[in-house]
Structure formats: structure tokens, C-alpha cells
Chain A
Amino acid sequence: MPQRRIAIWILAVPLVIAGLGLIFQGLAGAYPALYFTWGFFFEAMIGGLLQGVMYSLVALGFVLIFKASGIFNFAQGSLVLFAALTMVGFIEFGLHWILAAAITVAIMIAVAIAIERVVLRPMVNQAPIILFMATIGIFYFLDGFGQLIWGSDIKILNIGIPTDPQFFLEGVFEGGILINSFDMVAAAVGAVLVAVLAVFFHKTRIGRALRAVADDHQAALSVGIPLKTIWAIVWSVAGIVALVAGIMWGGKLGVQFSLALIAFKALPVLILGGFTSIPGAIVGGLIIGAGEQVAEVFLGPIIGGAIQDWFAYMLAMVFLLFRPQGLFGEKIIERV
């Protein structure tokens, strides 16, 4: 009953947001140190939602690989860093950014094929934890490799996205809502990316093969789907998603080593939305982004700031206690 579920979501989300607002309004009454206006609340909320889209961009790469091969790919963060570093490197050679992006896509595909050939193929049929470890090995290797080639200084990646904040809805709320236009562009890019992925997965021949592999490896093999090719394609797609995430995050924070660590921001998104669901990655990102931002702004002053580091994890953990497979994950069926 997808229609009913969608209806529930459409009804529930504004209710939850309004409820949260009322709770914080109440809290602000109790704690004078807390500053609350509805305009400020919506500003934090929207800022968080846009931030959440950025998290989703990273989480998408995880989901793609986990769906197709059951591998929890820890190296996604370093793929993001590597893609961003490579692209900046080519831009510094004087290439136009579109050309640099195209070359980087080719390199990411080469990296994906290399990973499939060198790492994954010898390790078919190993326990998931061993494959997880291997991806941490890839993480270290790519980090070192990327910085070895391109250097470890902070680089600026500017492809002409406006970064100045803008005011919206000035008539509705006092002072209006301040939104960073870069975040809006990022959200639009994220939406386009998800749409493209959806079309790719549902309308193309390769996409159907990918979904078949995700459903059942053996059955897919038996109807003649080449598993190894499919894995190479999935890692390539994950590499391209990593490039998009790298452009967005690199444009926001600068291209540097810490870019590899945004993977840690994507993990709670992942478990919240479910490892196997693309919509889950998006919705999870939105919930984590908004929740984190609102908590930092309105709860932070009460319990002492800098709670962004762990709040997302706690939020995801509480969700998991009620739905162990994440919001959109496939129901876990256990057999002895």
C-alpha cells in the first residue's frame, strides 16, 4: 500500500516538525538562556534539511554497493576524497571544470575496475566482516595514494556555484529566513542525482541486472547475468556518486583530508534509512540533518554544545531500537 504510506508520511512530517517546535518553545519558556522564534526554528530546520541532502550524497554510495554486493564499503569516504583531489588537480592544470570532471569520471571507473579485480575477486565468499576489513584497507590505500599524488594541502574547489546567503519569506517571519544558496544548489544536485539513479535502476537493462543481483546473487548468475561485470559497474557508479559528493563537499569545506571522514556523518544516515534503500538514504539524511541542526541550536545550549558529533548516532540508535532494519530496510527474516 504505497499510497497509504505516502499519505502517512505527508501527514506525519509537518506534525512532527510542528510538535518539535512547540516542545522547544516550551523549553525556551523554562530556560531563559534559550532563544526561540518560529522564524529561527524554521531557519535551523531548513538549514539542517539541506545539510542532510549533503549527507545523503555520501550515503548513496554506501547503499549502492551494499545493495549489489552485500559489502559494507567503508572506503566510500576515501573515494569522495580521491575524486575531489583528482578533479582539483586537473583544474589546477588549467582545464575547464567540466573537462576535469569528465577525466575524473574515467579515473573513478578505472579505480572501480581495479578494486573489483584486485580486491573483491579473490575474496568472493568470505565472511562480510573480512570484506569490510578489506574496504578499510582500500580506505587507507586510497587516502595515501591520493595525497601522495596531489599533495595534502587544503585546496579550493570553485566551479562557480554562488555561496552568498539569501533571505526568504521576509514577509512571513520577522527578519526572514537565511539560507545559504550553495546548500540549495547542492540539494538540487542531490535531487537530480537521485532521479537519474532511479531512471538508471528502473529503465535500463543494466539497472535491471543490478536489481536482480541485489535480490539474489545465485539466481542472477543462473539466468546469465555476469556478476563480476555488474560489481565493476556498481563500484563505478559509486565512484561517480562519490565525485558528485566530492564536488559538493569540496566546494563547501575545501578539498582536504578531513573530507574522507564525512563518511562518519553518512553512517547514521545509513542505519537510519536502512542499508539497502535509496529512498532510505535520502529520508535518513533529511532526518539526521534536520535533527542534528535543531538539536545543536536548541538543545546544545542546555547540555553544553558540540553535541553534533554524537547526536546523529544516538538518534539513529533510538530509531533502530524500534525498527532494527532501519526505516526503509528490507525486513530481516531469520531462519535457522
Chain B
Amino acid sequence: MFYREAGQFKTSYRTDQAIFPILQDKIGLVAVLIFAAVIVPAIASEYILTTILVPFLVFSLAAIGLNILTGYCGQLSLGTGGFMACGAFFAFKLTTAFPDVNIIIVFLLAGLGTALVGVFFGIPSLRIKGFYLAVATLAAQFFLLWVFNKFDWWHNYSPSGVIAAPPRAVFGDFYITGTEAAPWAKYIFLLAFVAALALLAKNLVRSRIGRTWMAIRDMDIAAEIIGIRPMFAKLSAFAVSSFFIGISGALWAFIYTGSVEALAFEITRSFQVLFMIILGGLGSILGSFLGAAFIVLLPIVLNIGLQSIDSSISVALISHVEFMIFGALIIFFLIVEPHGLARLWQIGKEKLRLWPFPY
């Protein structure tokens, strides 16, 4: 009834190709953004901000990055954790070497550095495909972590091997890292930053380069025959994907945890992000957000739920039951909707268009 596009005429290609061609979607998005930017910081407690919303935004960015590579370009990668570590350590080295450079520029430079590393580890994708490539990207994961663990230069010779984010402000007194940073400031900064990057990603995948990625994903030989250069398409996907993942790694280290060691980016992190894009929806920017929200919330909900049933259960038992439920839920979701939450959302929208008179 409310979600009708009747009467919204598109009189130019520009309006036809807008990101949100339907007026209600535009209003909805603006409403969500205003809600997230104005109302959430006012009502959310510090706990919700720091343990749910901040990691959600950081993971969303990582999921967007992996989705570009795996969902749009079809190159399965298990090296996400390694690339996140790259971003974190690059940003740390940059900001300790040049303390006067604005932190946003540091994050972007760390992303660019990670993009270079990503291109290097993307080279095997020109010859290796499918699961062989997935295992080959594990080389990146293990090698990069080894490098950051092994050489003390990366954490400025701190004896514990931990990098602690120095206090940095975006402008004036608006500190977003370090101990002075207020949770709402971190949250607002992340929201703006991630929204801007998500817009960039959305526009990239709608552009010429995004279409070449999708052509490669759907059938690489056919794409090659119609004149798409596989080398450029694959390596650019690796570069853009690593750029996003690197920035998310830097955000993880600087804004979410504040101090981090290389072990935080272990292989489980790669799988976590992979779960997000598969459950959220391969080849969908919205799906990256939905998947990130799901994976961030699930353990917290499980933990609270189990503890409210019986508060005397031991921690080890809870973690085992969590593992089981987590695995079972993943299998359940894959059986019910293999194309992820984004597809469910799409089906819901189709239904809503006809509601309440479906015939």
C-alpha cells in the first residue's frame, strides 16, 4: 500500500539509473541514516555502542571488501585476516612516523598499501581458479601474519608485540582513537566513514569496472572473448577489495579495540568475514551490512540467551553450545535461503509492492 512506484515516472536515463530508483527507498535510507546519526548516539548505552555498533560498522566494511572480490568477481579468498592485519600495521607505522598527518589520510594510505599487497597475492588468480585459489590465498594469510609477528619493527619494538593506537583527532578536539575518545565520537566517525566508503563501493560495482568483474565471475572465458582483460579485471578486484579490507583492519585496531596484536587477525577472522558475505548475500552491498549485523549479534544473543536460561552454566560449556548452535544455524540458513539475507530482503520488497492485493 505504501510501497508503490506507481506515478514515479523516469524522464531521463539519470533518474532511471539512480542507486535507489524508487522514492520510498530514498526516504527509507535517509530515515535510517538520520536515525543512526542522531537518535542512536542519544539513546544507546556505552555498552551497545562499543560492543555492537562499532564492530558492526568495522565488519561491514571488511565484508564489503570481501564481497567485491568473492561476490562480484568470483575469486574465493581466505586471506581477509592477513589483509586486515596489513591495514592495521600500515596505519600504525604511518601514524607513529608522521603524527601530524590527519588520521583519515592515514587510514586511506593504509588502505592503498594493503591494495598493493593484495595485487601481489592476487597474481596467482590469473592461473589458479576456484578452491585451488582459496587455498593459495591462505598463503597470504599465514605469510602476512608471520611477517607482522616476526619482525619487531612493525610494532616499534614494543616488548609485548601489541600495537596501541595513539590518540588522534579528526579535527580540533574530536578525538576518535586513544583513551580520550568518547564512544559516541568513535561511532559517529565510523558511521560517516563507512557510509561514504559503502557509497563508493556501490558506485564502483555499478560502473564499467564492476560490470567487468561480474562478467569474469559469471564465466571468465566468455568474458575474455568479448574483450574483457582478465588480468586487469581480477587484479583490480583484488586491489579494490584489499583497499576496503585494509581500511577495516586499521579501523579495527584503532577504533574498535584500541590495541591489537597480529594474532587478532588469525584465520578465524577470515572465516568470520566469509560467513558474513555468504549469509548476507554474495554480490550485494546491502547483504554485507546484513551479514555483518547477523554475525556480530549472533554470539552476543546466544551468550545472553544461554545465560538467562541457567546462569550457573560454566563458560566452557556455553562456548561449546555456542559453537554448536552457530554451526547449526549456518547450515539451516544455507538450506533455507542459499542466496542470503539480501535475497530475503528482496523477496520481502517484491511482496510488499503487491501488498495487500497480491492478485
Contacts and interface: CB of A to CB of B under 8 A. Distances in A.
Interface of A: 72, 118-119, 122-123, 126-130, 132-134, 136-145, 147-148, 152, 264, 267-268, 270-271, 275, 304-307, 309-310, 313-314, 316-317, 320-321, 324-326, 332, 334-336
B321 A140 contact: no
Contact of B323 (A119, A133, A140, A325): A140
Given A129-B278, A152-B320, A275-B131, A309 B142 contact: yes
B128 interface: yes
Contacts of A145: 320, 324
A325 B127 CA distance: 10
A320 B143 contact: no
Contacts of A305: 150
Contacts of A270: 135
B296 to A, nearest CB: 16
Interface of B: 70, 76, 124, 127-132, 134-136, 138-139, 142-143, 145-146, 149-151, 219, 221-222, 225, 267, 271, 274-275, 278, 282, 316-317, 319-331, 334-335, 338
Given A126-B334, A129-B278, 12 more contacts: A133-B278, A136-B275, A144-B325, A270-B135, A304-B150, A306-B149, A310-B139, A310-B142, A316-B136, A317-B128, A320-B136, A321-B128
Contact of B135 (A119, A144, A313, A324): A313
B221 A336 contact: yes
A264 B138 contact: yes
Looking at chain A's contact residues, the main secondary structure is helix
A137 B327 contact: yes
A334 B146 contact: no
A271 to B, nearest CB: 5
A130 B131 CA distance: 12
Contacts of B130: 128
Contact of A324 (B128, B139, B150, B225): B128
Contact of B338 (A123, A268, A324): A123
A313 B124 contact: no
A140 B142 CA distance: 21
Q: Say what secondary structure dominates the interface of chain B.
A: helix
Given A137-B334, A275-B131, A321-B127, A313 B142 contact: yes
A127 B128 CA distance: 18
B146 A268 contact: no
Given A270-B135, A320-B124, A334-B221, A144 B143 contact: no
Contacts of A128: 130-131
Given A306-B146, A313-B143, A140 B327 contact: yes
Given A141-B324, A324-B129, A336-B225, A133 B330 contact: yes
Contact of B267 (A137, A144, A264): A264
26 contacts: A72-B131, A118-B331, A123-B335, A126-B334, A128-B130, A129-B76, A130-B278, A137-B330, A137-B334, A140-B327, A141-B327, A144-B319, A145-B320, A271-B132, A271-B135, A307-B146, A313-B139, A316-B136, A317-B128, A317-B136, A320-B136, A321-B127, A321-B128, A324-B127, A334-B221, A336-B222
A321 B142 CA distance: 19
Point out which of B76, B146, B267, B274 has the most chain A C-beta atoms below 10 A from its C-beta: B146
A140 B326 contact: yes
Given A137-B334, A271-B132, A320-B124, A314 B139 contact: yes
A301 to B, nearest CB: 13
B160 to A, nearest CB: 18
Contact of A134 (B139, B322, B324, B334): B334
B269 to A, nearest CB: 14
Given A132-B131, A141-B324, A148 B317 contact: yes
A144 B322 CA distance: 7
A320 B125 CA distance: 10
Contacts of B225: 336
Contacts of B329: 137
Nearest to A140: B327
Contacts of A271: 131-132, 135-136
Contact of B320 (A130, A148, A310, A317): A148
Contact of B334 (A123, A267, A313, A326): A123
Contact of B321 (A119, A134, A148, A326): A148
A144 B330 contact: no
B226 to A, nearest CB: 11
Contacts of A132: 131
Nearest to A66: B131
Contacts of A144: 319-327
A320 B146 CA distance: 22
7 tightest Cβ-Cβ pairs between the two chains A and B? A144-B323, A141-B327, A140-B327, A313-B139, A144-B324, A137-B330, A310-B142
A309 B146 contact: yes
A117 to B, nearest CB: 12
Nearest to B338: A130
B270 to A, nearest CB: 11
A316 B138 CA distance: 11
A278 B227 CA distance: 39
Given A141-B331, A336-B222, A317 B317 contact: no
A268 B135 contact: yes
Nearest to A305: B150
Contact of B335 (A122, A139, A140, A321): A122
